[in-house]
Amino acid sequence: MDFTKGDFGAGFTWGVASSSYQTEGAHDADGKGKSVWDVFGDTRGKIHENQKGNVACDFYNRYPDDLKLMARMKIPAFRFSLSWSRILPQGIKTVNPAGIEYYHRLIDHCLALGIEPWITLYHWDLPWELEKKGGWTNRDIIGWFGDYVELCIRHFGSKVKHWMILNEPMVYTGTGYFLGLHAPGRRGLNSFLAAIHHAAMCQAEGGRIVRSLLPEAKVGTTFSCSLVEPYKNHIADSQAALRVDALLNRLFVEPLAGLGYPVQDLKFLRRLETYIKDGDEGKLAFNMDFIGVQNYTREIVTRSRFIPFMWAKVIRAGKRNVETTDMKWEVYPEGIYHMLHKFSKYENFKELIVTENGAAFPDTIVNGRIHDEKRKAFLESAIGQVLKAKQEGVRVNGYFIWSFTDNFEWAEGYKPRFGLVYIDYKTQQRIIKDSGDWFSRFLGNDCI
């Protein structure tokens, strides 16, 4: 490693990330309502080995010890999400006092340990009662979500300085409302298009609400992204890669930046006109204080005559004879460098924060230790790529590892492990991996 933490400057934020459904468990405790993932997990065949997040990491009960471990590792910032259905069991109106109190305790505990909380308002766990009314396909969600955001800011805004509106809207709309691979398991173009537009409206409206109620805070939102490259250097594959890039990387950031949807490169987006009402175009845009960039891999694309709308096919990493992670993604830490440069071109956002970056590899306990050299090498290389981008003038000012602990990885269940800290799900024992030890020492910790 030929760089140090000091090379990034004193104002650079270092942290780890998680989300409510993936870690909290306590799925029906203390008045919490069902989320779409609670219901999805009860449907056989949807999740690896029919696993579910009912207990997950038991973070709801174990957060004091987990935060103590985080403080011991000298990690200064913690990104986590609020569970909408823990706060509003029906999604609207009736507030659950126990849910509000839980997040007050969590935030207070972070602050007492010197850990800065960075809060994501929506990380995929939509209240089931709202999904029964159409969820993200129902335009009323703009109002439902706005009320939820306002409630959270009024309760927690005095304690929290950094807020993220949505986590990866392309993923939860695409896999949840088009492919049916994630909750709520819907399929079809019309559901997808409606969800796209309403999520895009909500990310801007949420930003406006946070800024109006908490002008001194920093508000942003996060985007999944992957470097997209053509399989062969000819026009058909290049145009296919352009279409995939528009879908994966530009679909939500460009309307937020005031550029509108990338209709020119994705012709099927013209059908969004069905869902766009008078005045919507102006409401899609909002100048976020920061954009959260979340990158794990890259995609190689070729033209396909057999995939409608996109006319493009992603060539999976397993067929390209490249090293892969447990998610079957190409090991490509250089991707974060390219994506930071890409997002830096949207000049109306003040700064970029890497809000997720990491890799899942198999972990084996040997004499009480976990020697996860591949994860450590990935993180070290990726952090070096972030520094390279920063030195080239990209306004990146933070880096959060996904994730602090192993957790429930959605449709993949508990098999993939991203954590710096290993969890034995049978006993809930925590073990700091070598990657966690390395990151702690990188941050300046002499001994953990």
**Closest C-alpha to 207, from 223, 221, 195, 224:** 221
Interior/surface letters 153-172, b for 16+ CB within 10 angstroms, e for the rest: bebbbeebebbbbbbbbbbb
**Closest C-alpha to 143, from 397, 347, 134:** 134
> Under the phi-then-psi rule, with left for phi > 0, alpha for psi from -120 to 50, and beta for the rest, what region is 26?
left
The dihedrals phi and psi of 41, each to the nearest 5 degrees, come to -70, -20
**Closest C-alpha to 87, from 131, 46, 35, 162:** 35
Burial class (CB in 10 A: 0-12, 13-18, 19+), 81: buried
Site of tokens 């700091």: 432
C-beta of residue 303 within 8 angstroms of C-beta of residue 240: yes
- Residue count of the chain: 448
Of 24, 168, 299, 409, catalytic: 168
Of 24, 299, 356, 409, catalytic: 356
Site of tokens 């909750």: 183
**216 classed as catalytic:** no
188 Cα distance to chain centroid: 23
Alpha carbons 159 and 107: distance in angstroms, whole number: 7
3-state secondary structure 320-346: CCCCECCCCCECCCCHHHHHHHHHCCC
Residues 6+ apart with CB under 8 A from 238: 230
DSSP 276: P
Joined tokens for residue 323 = 């090293």
**356 classed as catalytic:** yes
Alpha carbons 383 and 12: distance in angstroms, whole number: 12
Q: List the catalytic residues.
A: 168, 356
